[in-house]
Homo-oligomer: A and B are copies of this chain.
Amino acid sequence: MEDVAREAKVARVTVSRVLNEPDKVKPTTRKVVLEAIRRLGYVPDRVAGSLASRRSGVIGAIVPSLSNAWFADTMDGLAETLAESGFQLMLGQSRYRLEEEEALAESFIGRRVDALVLTGVHHMPSLVQRLRQIKLPVVETWELTTDPIDCVVGFSNFSAGKAVGEHLWRSGRRHIGFIGAHEKRAVQRLEGLQDSLQKHGASELNVELVEPPSAIHDGSAKLGLLLERCPDLDAVFCSNDTLAVGALFECQKRHRAVPNRLAIVGFSDLPIASACIPSLTTVRVPARNIGVAAGHALLKRLTTPNEASAQAIDLGFELITRESA
């Protein structure tokens, strides 16, 4: 920067201004400076800039795992939204462990991220306390809560599960099973399902849990177990489409007609849900939009002078009825 300033015969501040507040520099000098920058191939050091300005232009995000299409989609949306405003994404995976999430978050704080995007609303209490204390802008995602750390973008997993229960009950299904990841959000969907069925006075509910990340084979294997345990099962709700597709394939293998002898409902509305045969009834969730909305919420929060924009954004969900249920 020193060199550029000399080359353009101005002070270093002026070079800095040309880069950060171009309007505050007379067009003529601006031109000279830009020319010098180009000629010298100068690339400003944003680390030094961050230290001086106390803004890094980096947002930290933590997801349980990138190998889940839905979280990858959320990060896709987030990265793209941030990139439009020159922010960069620092990404970490918690592997579904709250302690790893906390460690990553602490690391991100040390790296002076301008904000944090977390998955879920359940975190280590020490982390929540810390985040509140340092007043770091935070967006929690994929769920809703009445007590967010700062801001939350998601939908009600409980309501979604309930909607599935209503749909199955209305379709006359009475022997219902659930296959889901052993994980907070999936369990909320299960609770929604249970709530709905209980209200209708349903008898038992057969549940199989798998360790996340859910694999397609888990869906097949667990459906097998469910079917052996309860041969007259007539419907199964899977906590995500990956499991549901696995269940669907298992039915094909066993020549158990879907939806006639078994209804299958998935969750996520991945592309495969509408492509498979029979097509999959599922709950469409705004995976990518969660990332986009989280990004917008943060950008607003970071560029607005007053910081009073903490809020809850309910992006909703939609039951997509297709052939499988």
Find out whether the CB atom of B56 lies under 8 angstroms from the CB atom of A67: no
The answer to the question of A275 belonging to the interface, with a C-beta cut-off of 8 Å to chain B, is yes
Stretch at the interface among A44-52, A182-190, A229-237, A258-266: A44-52
Stretch at the interface among A27-35, A88-96, A293-301, A312-320: A88-96
Residues of B within 8 A of A215 (CB): 271
Q: How far is the CA of A288 from the CA of B108 in the complex (A)?
A: 24
The answer to the question of A66 belonging to the interface, with a C-beta cut-off of 8 Å to chain B, is yes
Residues of B within 8 A of A111 (CB): 46-47, 57-58, 88
Selected contact of A76 from candidates B69, B93, B110, CB within 8 Å: B93
Q: How far is the CB of A29 from chain B (nearest CB, A)?
A: 23
Q: How far is the CA of A80 from the CA of B245 in the complex (A)?
A: 28
Q: How far is the CA of A253 from the CA of B277 in the complex (A)?
A: 8
The answer to the question of A106 belonging to the interface, with a C-beta cut-off of 8 Å to chain B, is yes
The answer to the question of A289 belonging to the interface, with a C-beta cut-off of 8 Å to chain B, is no
Find out whether the CB atom of B46 lies under 8 angstroms from the CB atom of A112: yes
Selected contact of A110 from candidates B44, B51, B109, CB within 8 Å: B44
A272-319 CB contacts (< 8 Å) to partner B: 272, 274-277, 288
Selected contact of A106 from candidates B43, B104, B112, B276, CB within 8 Å: B43
Find out whether the CB atom of B47 lies under 8 angstroms from the CB atom of A112: yes
Residues of B within 8 A of A45 (CB): 51, 110, 112
Residues of B within 8 A of A110 (CB): 43-46
Q: How far is the CA of A110 from the CA of B289 in the complex (A)?
A: 29
The answer to the question of A216 belonging to the interface, with a C-beta cut-off of 8 Å to chain B, is yes
Q: How far is the CB of A103 from chain B (nearest CB, A)?
A: 9
Selected contact of A246 from candidates B50, B93, B275, CB within 8 Å: B275
Interface residues of A (CB under 8 A from B): 43-48, 50-51, 56-58, 65-67, 69, 72-73, 75-76, 79-80, 83, 86, 88-93, 104, 106-112, 215-217, 220, 245-246, 249, 252-253, 271-272, 274-277, 288
20 CB contacts below 8 A, A to B, read A43-B106, A43-B109, A45-B112, A47-B51, A51-B51, A66-B72, A66-B73, A67-B69, A67-B73, A67-B76, A69-B69, A69-B72, A79-B92, A79-B93, A80-B93, A88-B92, A90-B91, A245-B275, A249-B275, A253-B277
